[in-house]
Amino acid sequence: MSNNWTKSFSATALKSRPSPVRELLKVINQPGMISFAGGMPAPDVFPVEQFAEGAELLQSKGSLLLQYGTTEGYNPLREFLAKWTAPRMGREVGLDEILLTTGSQQVLDLFGWAMIDPGDVVIMEAPTYMAAINAFSNHGAEFASVRMDDVGMVVGELPALIEKLRKEGRKVKFIYTIVNFQNPGGATMSAARRKELTEVAKRYDLTIFEDDPYGYVRFDGDHLPSIFSFDGAGNTIYAGSFSKILSPGVRIGWVSGPKDIVRQMTVFKQATDLCSSPITQILTHEYCRKGYLDSHLPNIIANYRVKRDAMEQSFKKHLSSLGITWVKPEGGFFYWLDTGAIDSNELARRALEKKVAILPGEPFCVKPEDGVHAARINYTFSKPDVIEEGVSRLAQAIQEMKIPAK
Amino acid sequence: MSNNWTKSFSATALKSRPSPVRELLKVINQPGMISFAGGMPAPDVFPVEQFAEGAELLQSKGSLLLQYGTTEGYNPLREFLAKWTAPRMGREVGLDEILLTTGSQQVLDLFGWAMIDPGDVVIMEAPTYMAAINAFSNHGAEFASVRMDDVGMVVGELPALIEKLRKEGRKVKFIYTIVNFQNPGGATMSAARRKELTEVAKRYDLTIFEDDPYGYVRFDGDHLPSIFSFDGAGNTIYAGSFSKILSPGVRIGWVSGPKDIVRQMTVFKQATDLCSSPITQILTHEYCRKGYLDSHLPNIIANYRVKRDAMEQSFKKHLSSLGITWVKPEGGFFYWLDTGAIDSNELARRALEKKVAILPGEPFCVKPEDGVHAARINYTFSKPDVIEEGVSRLAQAIQEMKIPAK
C-alpha cells in the first residue's frame, strides 16, 4: 500500500532526528515508571480553578474566540505582556516589538526562518536545549559552542571563538543563550556576564537570542535584568513562555525585540500556522487580567522549591558517595549531573529497566561527546517521596555499572 | 536603538512576502468597509452554544487540558477523525496514518520540511492558494502550473509538463491540488480526473498533496470520493481542517497519509511547535463526540448557500453587462471573477476607495501574469444585503475604469 516515501524525502528530513524527550513521553505512562526525563510541569501546580473562571467567555465572547485572530496575536494580551515584562526588559516594549507565538518553541523556528542561511554558524552554550539544536539545524545551521561555569556562558572565550570561525571563512549569525536556570545546565548568567555579552555582540556585529522560559520560576536570590535590558544597540531578541508560569496547554509564547525582526518573524508565522488560537489567548488574557498570574506564581515556586530540595537531599544521600557531582539550581526545572566516568547512555538504559527515566547528555550538546558523562534530571514533575524512590533506583543502576558482572 | 537587522536576514527572509489577506485583515475593520477579501467564516455560523457546553471540561479535566500533549495529537480526536472521514477516504485510516496540526496551514509547512529541497519543482493549479505558494516557496520550492477547467485541474496536460521539466533537468517533487471548490478558482475536480491524477502520479513516481479545507461545505450535488481513496499506490496525503466546518479559532487541522510521511511530519512538528493545544483539541473532541459536527454542518451550508445565491444574483444584476464572467461554485467560500480587459490590481485599489475589499488575482498565481485579469471574491463573511451593496460598489468602480476621465 505504501510507496517508498523516504526516497522522496528532503535532505533536511533525511538528517532529522526525533526528540528523545517527545519519544519518552510515550514510555513514561507505563505503570510504575518514575520520570525525571521530561520538562513537564507538575499537574498539581496548574491553577485549574482560576483558569476555568474564564470558561464563560466561550459563551459570552464565543464569536471572537472561534474566529481567526491576527497573526501578531490578541492585542490585550500583547499589551498585558508589554507591561508585565517591563521590569525585566528595562522598559515597556511597543506593540510592534512583541509577537505572540504557538509556544516559545515556535520562536526558535521563526527566528530560524528569518536569520539562518544553510552553513551559518550559531553559537550555543554547551550543553543547551536540544529542541533548539533541532530547530536551528533544520534551517541549515551549523554550530559552535561555549562552555559554562557557575555563572553561565563563559563570555570571555567568545571573542577568540568568533575570530577563529571568521578566519576559517565561516559566517557567525547569532548567539543563543538560555539565561536563567539554563536547560539543561542549571546555571544562571550573572548580570556582569549579561552586560559583557551585549558588548561582545555589538563589537562583532552579532545578534543575541535570549531564551527565558524558566526565568520567573526562581526559588532563591533575586531576579536579574534581562540581556535585552542591557542592550542599547538593539541586537537582542527575548523569548518568553506561559508554559512554566501558567500552562503548556495554552501553547502561548512570545518574542520581544526590535520591530524589524519581529515584523519578519510575523511574516513567517503567516506561512507556518496563520495565527495562534484566539481561544487560548483570550482565556490566558482573562487569567492575567484578573491578577492570577502574579498571585499564583508563588504557589508554583513553592511547590518546585520543595521538590528541588527533596532532590538535593536524595542526591546527597544516594549519589555523593558514588562520585556523581552537581550544582544546585536556583530555579527552573532541572539538575545536570556530572556522571564522572560513567557513560550516561548506558546509565539511562539501565535506569529505564528499573523504571526510572532520565535523559543522557548527548542530545543536549552540539558536540555529542560533551554530553557522554552527564545526564539531565527533572524534579518538577514528581512528588518528593517519588523523587526519593527514583534517585534510590538511579543509585542502584550506577552501583551495578561499577560492579563488574561475575 | 535598532541595528539594521535586515542585513543579517536569511535569503529566504529577503525574498519573503507578507500575505495580502493577513495584511487586509487590519483594514477591513474600518467603519463602513465591506470585505469580500478574506476567507473568514461568518460569525453567525459559529456553534457557540454547543461548543461552550464543553466549558466544564476546563474544570473537570483541567490538569489534562493545561498540560503538554503528544506531538501526534489527542488520541480520541484522532480516532474520531479516522472514523468520521472514512466515507471520504475510502477506509478508516490507522492512528499511525493521521497527525493533528495547528491548523491545516501547518500541514503545508510540515510537508515542505519533509519533502522540499531547494530547487525542487512543485506542480500547482493556476490559480492556487496563495499561502501554499508562500509556505512551499519558503522551503525553496520552484513552481510549475497547470490550468483548470470546469472540472478542475486539466490532468491530461500533466504528462507533457512533467516530461518537459524532467528534460530540462528539473526535479519534480509533488503535485498540489485543492480538490473541492478550489481556492480561489471555485471548480471541483471530477471523480474521473481524480482517478486519472493517481494514475499519472503512479506512472511518474510522484506524490500528491490533496488539500481539502472546504470539501464538507457543499451546497449542490453529491460529495465525491477523495483522491486518497483512488490511490492504491499510497502516493497521496490528504489535509483537512476544522476551520470551515467548526471554527478557525480552534487551530486544528489534520493530515492523513502513509505512515512513513506522517511520521516524518511529526518529527518536524516537534521542532516547530512541540504539540498543538490540548485545550482546543479536547474541546473540539467533546463537540464532535456529542454529534454536533454532523448536526450543525447543515446550518453552515444553508447559511452560505443563501449568500452564494445572493452574490450570484448581484453579479447577474450588476456585472453581467460589464463583460465580467464567473463560474457558480457548488460549495466553499469563493467566486473567481474573470475581469476581462480590466487590470485587477487597479480594480482592487479603486474598490477599496469605495470601501469594498477584494483580492486581485496575482498573488494566487505562480506566474503572476496569470492573475492580472482575475479577482477573488468571498461571499461567506457578509450578509446578503451587504453583498448586494458591495457588488454594486464594485460595479461602480469597474464602470469608472471604463469611462476615460474628462
Kindly state whether residues A57 and A20 are assigned to the same domain: no
Q: What's the domain range around A114?
A: 52-292
* pTM of the entire predicted model: 0.96
Bridge partner list, A62: none
Contacting residues of A for B52, CB less than 8 Å apart: 55, 58-59, 62
Does B92 reside within a domain?
yes
Instruction: Return the pLDDT at B405.
Output: 47
Instruction: Return the pLDDT at A22.
Output: 64
Q: Total structural domains in chain A? A: 2
Kindly state whether residues B255 and B341 are assigned to the same domain: no
Minimal C-alpha gap between A316 and chain B (Å): 31
Shortest CB distance from A279 goes to which of B25, B63, B280?
B280
Rounded to whole angstroms, how far apart are CA atoms B13 and B17? 8
- State whether B51 and A67 contact (CB < 8 Å): no
B3 has a pLDDT exceeding 60 = no
Rounded to 5°, the CA angle B18-B264-B143 comes to 40
Instruction: Return the pLDDT at B22.
Output: 64
Bridge partner list, B148: B153
Nearest to B266 by CA among B135, B96, B138, B136: B96
| Closest-CA residue of chain A to B140 | A10
Does B53 reside within a domain?
no
Q: What DSSP letter does each residue of A116-157 carry, written as one string?
A: PPTT-EEEEEES--HHHHHHHHHTT-EEEEEEEETTEE-GGG
Give the A:B interface size as CB pairs under 8 Å.
298
Cα distances from A11 to residues A40, B16, B61, in angstroms, run 32, 22, 41
Kindly state whether residues A38 and A157 are assigned to the same domain: no
CA dihedral (A338, A342, A345, A350) in degrees, to 10, reads: -110
B159 has a pLDDT exceeding 80 = yes
Classify residue A251 as left (phi > 0), alpha (psi -120 to 50) or beta.
left
- State whether A46 and B67 contact (CB < 8 Å): yes
Kindly state whether residues A219 and A91 are assigned to the same domain: yes
Kindly state whether residues A361 and A385 are assigned to the same domain: yes
Mutate to test the interface with B, among A26, A50, A58, A183 (most CBs of B within 10 A): A58
- State whether B251 and A273 contact (CB < 8 Å): yes
Residue A394: Cβ within 10 Å count: 28
- State whether B258 and A116 contact (CB < 8 Å): no
Mutate to test the interface with B, among A1, A6, A7, A8 (most CBs of B within 10 A): A8
Kindly state whether residues A151 and A37 are assigned to the same domain: no
Kindly state whether residues B153 and B82 are assigned to the same domain: yes
Instruction: Return the pLDDT at B1.
Output: 40
Rounded to whole angstroms, how far apart are CA atoms A274 and B131? 9
Does B163 reside within a domain?
yes
Instruction: Return the pLDDT at B25.
Output: 65
Kindly state whether residues A268 and A359 are assigned to the same domain: no
Minimal C-alpha gap between A236 and chain B (Å): 10
- Render pLDDT for B162-200 as a digit per residue (tens, 0 to 9): 999 999 999 999 999 999 999 999 999 999 999 999 999
CA dihedral (A136, A141, A143, A148) in degrees, to 10, reads: -30
B87 has a pLDDT exceeding 70 = yes
**What angle separates helix A75-84 from helix A278-289, to the nearest 10 degrees?**
40
- State whether B280 and A280 contact (CB < 8 Å): yes
CATH number for position B35: 3.90.1150.10
Q: How many CA atoms lie within 13 A of A191 on its CB side?
A: 8
Rounded to whole angstroms, how far apart are CA atoms B189 and B187? 7
| Closest-CA residue of chain B to A29 | B70
Instruction: Return the pLDDT at A17.
Output: 79
B2 has a pLDDT exceeding 60 = no
For chain A, report the end-to-end CA distance as a whole number of angstroms: 50
Kindly state whether residues B272 and B377 are assigned to the same domain: no
Kindly state whether residues B213 and B340 are assigned to the same domain: no
Q: Which of A292, A320, A355 is the last residue of a domain?
A: A292
Minimal C-alpha gap between B242 and chain A (Å): 11
Does B202 reside within a domain?
yes
Shortest CB distance from A248 goes to which of B68, B102, B106?
B68
Shortest CB distance from B18 goes to which of A9, A65, A267?
A267
Instruction: Return the pLDDT at B219.
Output: 97
- Burial call A202-239: b when 16+ CB within 10 Å, e when fewer: beeebbbbbbbbbbbbbbeeeebebbbbbbebbbbbbb
ipTM over 0.90: yes
Kindly state whether residues B243 and B391 are assigned to the same domain: no
The band of B27, judged by pLDDT with boundaries at 50, 70 and 90, is confident
Bridge partner list, A241: A253
| Closest-CA residue of chain A to B233 | A1
Mutate to test the interface with A, among B12, B236, B303 (most CBs of A within 10 A): B12
- pLDDT digit of tens for each residue in chain A (406 aa)? 445 788 899 999 999 877 776 667 667 778 899 999 988 999 999 999 999 999 999 999 999 999 999 999 999 999 999 999 999 999 999 999 999 999 999 999 999 999 999 999 999 999 999 999 999 999 999 999 999 999 999 999 999 999 999 999 999 999 999 999 999 999 999 999 999 999 999 999 999 999 999 999 999 999 999 999 999 889 999 999 999 999 999 999 999 999 999 999 999 999 999 999 999 999 999 999 999 999 999 999 999 999 999 999 999 999 999 999 998 999 999 999 999 999 999 999 999 999 999 999 999 999 999 999 999 999 999 999 999 999 999 999 999 997 654 4
Residue B118: Cβ within 10 Å count: 14
Shortest CB distance from A116 goes to which of B10, B249, B274?
B10
Q: Which of A276, A292, A308 is the last residue of a domain?
A: A292
Rounded to 5°, the CA angle A162-A142-A181 comes to 75
Does B241 reside within a domain?
yes
Does B222 reside within a domain?
yes
CATH number for position A137: 3.40.640.10
- State whether A10 and B117 contact (CB < 8 Å): yes
Does B55 reside within a domain?
no
Mean pLDDT over B62-82 rounds to 97
Shortest CB distance from A46 goes to which of B66, B134, B277?
B66
Shortest CB distance from A16 goes to which of B9, B38, B267?
B267
CA dihedral (B208, B211, B217, B223) in degrees, to 10, reads: 10
Mean pLDDT over B321-337 rounds to 95
- State whether B48 and A62 contact (CB < 8 Å): yes
Instruction: Return the pLDDT at A3.
Output: 56
Q: Which of B272, B292, B312 is the last residue of a domain?
A: B292
Mutate to test the interface with A, among B2, B6, B7, B10 (most CBs of A within 10 A): B10
Does B366 reside within a domain?
yes
Contacting residues of A for B272, CB less than 8 Å apart: 105-106, 109, 135, 272
Q: Which of A3-17, A378-392, B51-65, B303-317 has the lowest mean pLDDT?
A: A3-17
Kindly state whether residues B117 and B169 are assigned to the same domain: yes
